[in-house]
C-alpha cells in the first residue's frame, strides 16, 4: 500500500505545482505565425490564458466584468482583460474588472513576480465599469490607467486617472462625466502625443456641458488651444437640438458657447439673442448668455462693449453672492463647466476675462484689479495669478 501512495503523492505535488505556475506575459504575447491556428484563434487562446490567471486572484464570489462604454464605441473596448506596462518594468501587467458578490464593481491589476503573478493594485467602487483604458495623459510617453466607475443614470460616471509614482499606482486626477472621448487633438502646435479628455456632463434634457481638459502637471485644466479642433462636433450637436426644440433656451446657450469656441463670433451673438428671446414666459438666467456675448464681442475686437458686458456680470455677483473672501477651498481651484446661473465660478471667469480685455485696451491698472478680483472668487486658480505676473513684467 505504501508503494502505491508515494507515486500518487508525487504526482499530486507535480499537478499542484504546475497549476500555480502560469505562463509569463512574454509567453502569452506570441509573434505572428507562431504555432498553429488562425490569428483569431491565437488571440482567443491568449485571452483565455489571461482569464485563467485573473480568476485565481478574484475575491470570493466575484466574477469578471466587462466595461460598458457610454455611446457608440468599438466593441473591442469591452474586453474582459487588458494588458499594459503600468509600472514601467518592460513587462505587461494584467488589468481586469470584476463584480463582487455584493454587486459593486472592482478593478484588479496583476504584475509578474519571480516567474509567477502577484496583485499590484486593487480597488472597488461604483455599481459597474464604464471603461478600463490605457492612454498617455501626462505626455511622458507612457500610458496611464483610466477607470470609469459607473455611478448612476443621472449622476453619470466618475473617472480616475492612475499613474505610476513612487513605486505605486496612484490617482493623479479625476472628473465626472456622462460621455467621454480620449484623443490627441491638434492645437496650435499640432498633435503633441498627449491625450486630451473631451468631457460631456448632462445639464437639462439632452443638453450637456462640454469641455476639453488636459493634464498640466498638477490638475486637469481646460485645453483652450484645441477647442477649434473638437468643438465643431459640439456645434453640429446643438444645431440639431435647436432645430428640434427652437423654444428651449438652454440648447441655444450651449450652441452659442460652442460657436465662440470655434471662433464663429457673429453666429454666437445671434444664437445668444435667439436663446434669450426663445422663452419669454420663463426666461433663462441672463448671466450665462451675457458671458457668451462678452466672449463673442471680445473675439470680434469690440473690447469696450465686451468690458461693459463683463462688468454687468461682476456687478451682479457682488450684489447677489456671498463675499468672495468666504469662497476659499479646493472646490474652486480649477474652473470647470459654467452653466447659465450666476455663481462664484462664473463671476471669477468674468473678472479674469474682463482683465484680459482691459489689458488689450492698455488699461493695465484696471486689468490688474480684475485679475485680483478673480483670485478672490477662485483663490487657487493659476491663470489670473500668472496674468498679474505678466502685467508686472
**End-to-end CA, the chain:** 94
Per-residue model confidence (pLDDT) at position 69: 87
Burial of residue 278 (CB within 10 Å: 0-12, 13-18, 19+) is: buried
Decide if 318 is inside a domain: no
Decide if 317 is inside a domain: no
Alpha-carbon distance 171 to 164, whole Å? 9
Task: Tell me, rounded to whole angstroms, the distance of Cα 153 from its chain centroid.
Answer: 18
pTM given for the model: 0.82
Decide if 118 is inside a domain: yes
- Written as tens digits, the pLDDT of the chain (393 aa) is 444 443 433 344 333 333 334 444 444 444 444 444 676 566 556 878 899 999 999 999 999 999 998 865 555 456 889 999 999 999 999 999 999 999 999 999 999 988 799 999 999 988 999 999 999 999 999 999 999 999 988 889 999 999 999 999 999 999 999 999 999 998 876 777 789 999 999 998 899 999 999 999 988 999 999 999 999 999 999 999 999 999 999 999 999 999 999 999 999 999 999 998 987 665 557 899 999 999 999 999 999 999 999 999 999 999 988 876 555 444 433 445 566 678 899 999 999 999 999 999 999 999 999 999 999 999 988 899 999 999 988
Decide if 57 is inside a domain: yes
Q: List the beta strands (DSSP E) in 10-139.
A: 63-64, 81-84, 93-99, 105-113, 116-124, 128-135
Decide if 78 is inside a domain: yes
Per-residue model confidence (pLDDT) at position 284: 58
168 closest CA partner among 281, 86, 113 = 86
Domain that includes residue 170, residue range:
42-177
83 closest CA partner among 34, 38, 49, 125 = 49
Decide if 21 is inside a domain: no
Decide if 172 is inside a domain: yes
Decide if 321 is inside a domain: no
Pull the grid cell for residue 352: 479674469
CATH of the domain at 167: 2.40.128
> Hey, CA dihedral for 312, 295, 261, 213, is it positive or negative?
negative
Alpha-carbon distance 211 to 338, whole Å? 10
Q: Give the CA distances from residue 123 to residues 91, 120, 135, 313, in Å, rounded to whole numbers and listed in that order.
A: 22, 11, 19, 44
The domain tally of the chain equals: 1
Residue with cell 443614470: 153
Q: Give the CA distances from residue 208 to residues 4, 33, 173, 177, in Å, rounded to whole numbers and listed in that order.
A: 73, 48, 22, 10
Amino acid at each position: 500500500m505504501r508503494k502505491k501512495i508515494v507515486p500518487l503523492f508525487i504526482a499530486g505535488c507535480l499537478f499542484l505545482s504546475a497549476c500555480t505556475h502560469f505562463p509569463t506575459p512574454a509567453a502569452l504575447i506570441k509573434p505572428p505565425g507562431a504555432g498553429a491556428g488562425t490569428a483569431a484563434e491565437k488571440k482567443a487562446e491568449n485571452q483565455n490564458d489571461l482569464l485563467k490567471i485573473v480568476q485565481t486572484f478574484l475575491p470570493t464570489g466575484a466574477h469578471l466584468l466587462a466595461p460598458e462604454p457610454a455611446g457608440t464605441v468599438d466593441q473591442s473596448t469591452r474586453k474582459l482583460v487588458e494588458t499594459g506596462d503600468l509600472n514601467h518594468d518592460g513587462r505587461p501587467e494584467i488589468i481586469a474588472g470584476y463584480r463582487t458578490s455584493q454587486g459593486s464593481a472592482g478593478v484588479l491589476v496583476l504584475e509578474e513576480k519571480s516567474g509567477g503573478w502577484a496583485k499590484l493594485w486593487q480597488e472597488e467602487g461604483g455599481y459597474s465599469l464604464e471603461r478600463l483604458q490605457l492612454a498617455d495623459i501626462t505626455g511622458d510617453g507612457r500610458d496611464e490607467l483610466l477607470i470609469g466607475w459607473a455611478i448612476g443614470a443621472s449622476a453619470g460616471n466618475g473617472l480616475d486617472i492612475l499613474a505610476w509614482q513612487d513605486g505605486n499606482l496612484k490617482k493623479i486626477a479625476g472628473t465626472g462625466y456622462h460621455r467621454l472621448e480620449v484623443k490627441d487633438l491638434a492645437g496650435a502646435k499640432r498633435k503633441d502625443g498627449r491625450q486630451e479628455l473631451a468631457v460631456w456632463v448632462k445639464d437639462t434634457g439632452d443638453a450637456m456641458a462640454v469641455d476639453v481638459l488636459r493634464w498640466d502637471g498638477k490638475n486637469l485644466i481646460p485645453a483652450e488651444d484645441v477647442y477649434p479642433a473638437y468643438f465643431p462636433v459640439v456645434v453640429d450637436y446643438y444645431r440639431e437640438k435647436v432645430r428640434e426644440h427652437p423654444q428651449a433656451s438652454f440648447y441655444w446657450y450651449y450652441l452659442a458657447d460652442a460657436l465662440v469656441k470655434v471662433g464663429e463670433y457673429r453666429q454666437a451673438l445671434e444664437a445668444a439673442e435667439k436663446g434669450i428671446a426663445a422663452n419669454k414666459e420663463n426666461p433663462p438666467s441672463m448671466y450665462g448668455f451675457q458671458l457668451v456675448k462678452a466672449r463673442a464681442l471680445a473675439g470680434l475686437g469690440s473690447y469696450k462693449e465686451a468690458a461693459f458686458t463683463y462688468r454687468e456680470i461682476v456687478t451682479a455677483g457682488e450684489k447677489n453672492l456671498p463675499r468672495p473672501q468666504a469662497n476659499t477651498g479646493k472646490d474652486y481651484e480649477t474652473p470647470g463647466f459654467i452653466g447659465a446661473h450666476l455663481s462664484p465660478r462664473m463671476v471669477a471667469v468674468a473678472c479674469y476675462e474682463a482683465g484680459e480685455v482691459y489689458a488689450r485696451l492698455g488699461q493695465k491698472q484696471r486689468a490688474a484689479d480684475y485679475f485680483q478680483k478673480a483670485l478672490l472668487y477662485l483663490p487657487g486658480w493659476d491663470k489670473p495669478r500668472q496674468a498679474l505676473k505678466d502685467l508686472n513684467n
